[in-house]
């Protein structure tokens, strides 16, 4: 038994069946794809008849090509075709047969994005069961809700109206703060209001959870829905909103200026006919922030800390925009754009899953770069994550030398 296998089993890692047998026979890319639930993928393909009448580029071929684009940073169909064509001797291990750019463009337009959306949620269920939680301040599960805009060219994507002469799509995300893993993801055209999509989203989260969001979700009817589901919320108050004070709470910190309870909005309309708390907090920058919540057990300081945790979803959006290919698109149709976005989210889950399962101490960005540099090397992921930066550089040179010997 190899040293890698012994270490992995001592660490108690849960890897796909046959993972350890791949030690000397498959690449990092193949091991990455081994975490994808293939049975569920085949079911989704059959459900949507995606491979019916397909002669060359199947849904799996398309998926592998799109994951390859995310892993290597390829931003054009020609780059994907050229990159994969230099590794034809490894196609059998990846389960692909064709990567012609014309076929890939046709598949991106015709093979429904709902396959990749369904695969994302199948992989999400797999990740949630095994993802460890980081140390956390609050007993209640905490979720952040927000949306980010991804710009498109309206003249090329006339289905994605946003503003005058501008096109965009919106990525709406409910994220579990303990794990930094998206709990719910939806994609809409850019003009869809954040609160409109929030009302459509289904939150299958435990009662007693806290949902934190910004003022884009200031809607009394929706707050009623959250309250009826047994959920707490924390948000910023609008300067124009009315607040009728009915009582006060003990101020627990010098930064808490006031901690009051009362009714928000117009009582005659009774859109949110329940008491809420308003906490006024002095921030480090000297600004005063006002928070609203329906939780009366947290201290004022904890309410402020909960809202501060919302910043994690902003960091998530920043990370995916900087490190995934979701700003340069391989097609202009709605199906092509959404397929690429969903595969990007799948790739994020794969990286997160590997990071947690191998107990990698580095950042997700470091893992992304390591996978990119060694994607087609024959080495286990466990060995890869123990390499030094100098060794990684050598691997890239060795790979080029191997291709030259093969006459590629």
Secondary element (H or E) of residue 276: strand 276-282
- Tell me the pLDDT band of 328, cut-offs 50, 70 and 90: very high
- Please, which pLDDT band fits residue 362 given cuts at 50, 70 and 90? confident
Report pLDDT for 128: 76
CA distance 396 to 83: 14
Q: Provide the pLDDT confidence category of residue 387 given band limits of 50, 70 and 90.
A: low
Report the predicted TM-score, pTM, of the whole model to 2 decimal places: 0.86
pLDDT at 179: 86
Give the chain's domains with CATH numbers: 3-118+329-405 (no CATH), 135-316 (3.90.350.10)
Residue of higher predicted confidence among 19 and 296: 296
Q: Is it the case that residue 327 has pLDDT exceeding 70?
A: yes
- By the 8 A CB rule, do 236 and 215 touch? yes
Q: Strands of 294-382 (E only): list them.
A: none
> How much is the average pLDDT of 201-212?
90
Q: Taking all residues of the chain, what is their mean pLDDT, rounded to a whole number?
A: 85
Residue 246 pLDDT > 60? yes
53: exposed, middle or buried (C-beta count within 10 Å: 0-12, 13-18, 19+)? exposed
Q: Is the pLDDT of residue 269 over 50?
A: yes
- Better-predicted residue by pLDDT, 245 or 34: 34
């Amino acid at each position: 038994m190899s040293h890698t296998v012994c270490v992995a089993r001592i660490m108690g890692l849960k890897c796909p069946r046959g993972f350890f047998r791949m030690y000397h026979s498959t690449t990092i890319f193949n091991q990455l794809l081994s975490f994808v639930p293939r049975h569920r993928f085949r079911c989704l393909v059959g459900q949507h008849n995606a491979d019916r009448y397909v002669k060359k580029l199947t849904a799996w071929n398309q998926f592998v090509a799109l994951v390859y684009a995310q892993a290597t940073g390829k931003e054009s169909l020609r780059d994907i075709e050229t990159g994969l064509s230099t590794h034809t001797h490894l196609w059998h291990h990846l389960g692909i047969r064709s990567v012609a750019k014309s076929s890939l463009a046709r598949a991106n337009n015709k093979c429904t994005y709902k396959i990749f959306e369904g695969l994302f949620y199948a992989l999400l269920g797999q990740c949630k069961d095994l993802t460890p939680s980081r140390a956390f301040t609050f007993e209640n599960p905490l979720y952040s809700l927000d949306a980010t805009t991804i710009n498109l060219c309206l003249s090329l994507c006339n289905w994605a109206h946003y503003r005058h002469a501008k096109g965009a799509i919106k990525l709406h995300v409910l994220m579990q703060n303990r794990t930094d893993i998206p709990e719910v993801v939806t994609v809409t055209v850019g003009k869809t209001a954040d609160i409109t999509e929030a009302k459509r989203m289904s939150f299958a989260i435990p009662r007693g959870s806290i949902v934190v969001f910004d003022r884009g979700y200031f809607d009394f009817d929706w707050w009623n829905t959250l309250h009826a589901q047994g959920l707490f919320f924390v948000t910023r108050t609008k300067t124009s909103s009315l607040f009728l004070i009915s009582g006060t709470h003990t101020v627990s910190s010098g930064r808490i200026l006031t901690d009051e309870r009362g009714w928000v909005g117009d009582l005659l309309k009774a859109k949110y006919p329940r008491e809420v708390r308003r906490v006024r907090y002095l921030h480090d920058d000297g600004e005063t922030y006002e928070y609203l919540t329906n939780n009366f057990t947290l201290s004022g300081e904890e309410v402020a800390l909960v809202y501060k945790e919302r910043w994690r979803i902003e960091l998530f959006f920043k990370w995916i925009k900087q490190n995934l290919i979701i700003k340069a698109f391989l097609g202009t149709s709605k199906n092509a754009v959404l397929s690429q976005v969903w595969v990007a989210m799948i790739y994020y889950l794969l990286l997160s899953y590997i990071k947690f399962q191998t107990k990698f101490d580095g950042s997700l960005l470091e893992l992304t770069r390591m996978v990119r540099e060694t994607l087609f090397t024959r080495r286990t992921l466990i060995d890869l994550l123990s390499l030094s930066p100098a060794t990684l550089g050598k691997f890239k040179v060795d790979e080029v030398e191997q291709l030259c010997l093969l006459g590629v």
